Amino acid sequence: MALAFSNTNKFLLNNQHILRSVLILSVRYKQRGHIADHLVEHHRKLPLSKVKAGTTEDVSQVTDEKNQNVRTTPHDFKYVYPDFLPNPIPFLRDRILEKLERKDMFRRRQQIDIPEFYVGSVLAVTSADPYAPSRRNRFVGICIQREKHGLKHEFTLRNIVDGLGVEIVYELYNPTITRIEVLKLERRLDENLAYLRDAPPEYCTFPFDMEPVKLPPGSGVPLNTIQVPITSTHWQYKWERHDLKGVLLPPLPRSVRKAAERYSEPWRQWDIMRQYRTEIHDEDRDEIFEDIEKHKQDLAQYRIDSKENIKIIRTRQKAAGRKAILDDSQQTKHSNPPTSK
């Protein structure tokens, strides 16, 4: 026993630094409010920590510089560019993948003009179809929903064709889409118009030769406040349980109304944490908006350069054609010399 005790004492004396680090780690583990050393050093190097005590001028200068660098996104950003917003669920996000997808989206927008449209706008989409007689297919319909994020962003068009409801789901960045036209730009009261499936057909019937409705220059996006009546006897969903503003429901039985009240969640509009979890943070939105603004400038320059290149190519083709004509005329002169009388 004495020999074993002496060996342990020797081990403790020779490895005091190991024991000290273990004790420090155990103490820090118990201290829940402990801040890591690298965070402390990071905050020590910040500009605010270098301000001397009792002075306020440096603090104001730092805050002014910080406010100058802050860029706020417009309030309608999530409606104009919903495809650029990433998934709000944190564990489903991959920031590197988001940046790579954003580059691909910008590259695709250089090849095709993707206009601004909303849920409720009437669109005409032309896509490549190898089985169509003209190798192209054009469909006109009202946009009833937009979903998914990034390159997988989709929008659904609905129209009544020969008395039958037809819906086509398009991927916004699908390379088979050759043209997207906005025939009528407007917004609705709801972000999802799936209830048009149970509405009368005249609310989602549009001719395929519909002429585009032009808005006056400088006007905003009009808001259509129409309320669609639900006349179908068998609904696809229980619309009375959803907070829909653009729907006129028929008189409902008392039991159905009570069930709707039981399933209603009026407190959600005041649930700040739910709003925080389902929306993108301002820093991420500012970064995305800066990329979009930069892309707009690059796209404008790209279009100017492409127009100039087209002009140069056309002038070169004309010059080459003239030169070929002159060469042909000279060859004919040499091959047929004038005969002396």
β-strand partners of 159: 166
Note whether residue 289 is domain-resident. Answer: no
Residue type, 155: F
- Block means of pLDDT (10 residues each) for the chain, 341 residues, are 52 57 48 51 53 46 48 64 84 86 90 91 93 90 93 94 93 93 92 91 92 86 90 81 88 88 83 79 81 81 67 69 71 61 48
Q: What is the pTM of this model?
A: 0.68
Note whether residue 126 is domain-resident. Answer: yes
Q: The CATH number of the domain where 140 resides is what?
A: 2.30.30.520
Note whether residue 251 is domain-resident. Answer: yes
Give residue 139's domain range.
112-259
From edge to edge, which strands make up the β-sheet containing 164-171? 164-171, 154-161, 136-147, 122-128, 177-184
In three-state secondary structure terms, 247 is: strand
Note whether residue 185 is domain-resident. Answer: yes
- Which pLDDT score, from 0 to 100, does residue 267 have? 82
Note whether residue 39 is domain-resident. Answer: no
Total count of residues recorded for the chain: 341
Note whether residue 152 is domain-resident. Answer: yes
Note whether residue 208 is domain-resident. Answer: yes
- Which pLDDT score, from 0 to 100, does residue 169 have? 95
Phi, then psi, of 16 in degrees rounded to 5 = -70, -35
Distance CA 159, CA 142 (A): 7
> How far apart, in Å, do the first and last CA atoms of the chain sit?
140
β-strand partners of 155: 146, 170
Distance CA 35, CA 243 (A): 45
Angle value at C-alpha 89, between 151 and 114, nearest 5 degrees: 25
β-strands 136-147, 154-161: how paired?
Answer: antiparallel
Chain segment 286-305, per-residue pLDDT in tens: 888 888 888 878 777 766 76
Distance CA 143, CA 192 (A): 9
Question: How distant, in Å, are the alpha carbons of 36, 150, 180, 322 from that of 298?
Answer: 43, 20, 21, 36
Give yes or no for a contact between 158 and 142, defined as CB atoms under 8 angstroms apart: yes
Count of domains in the chain? 1
Angle value at C-alpha 330, between 329 and 333, nearest 5 degrees: 90
Q: Which residue has the tokens 């490895």?
A: 15
Distance CA 141, CA 156 (A): 9
Q: Which two tokens stand for residue 291?
A: 């990329």
Note whether residue 212 is domain-resident. Answer: yes
Q: Which two tokens stand for residue 159?
A: 């129209």
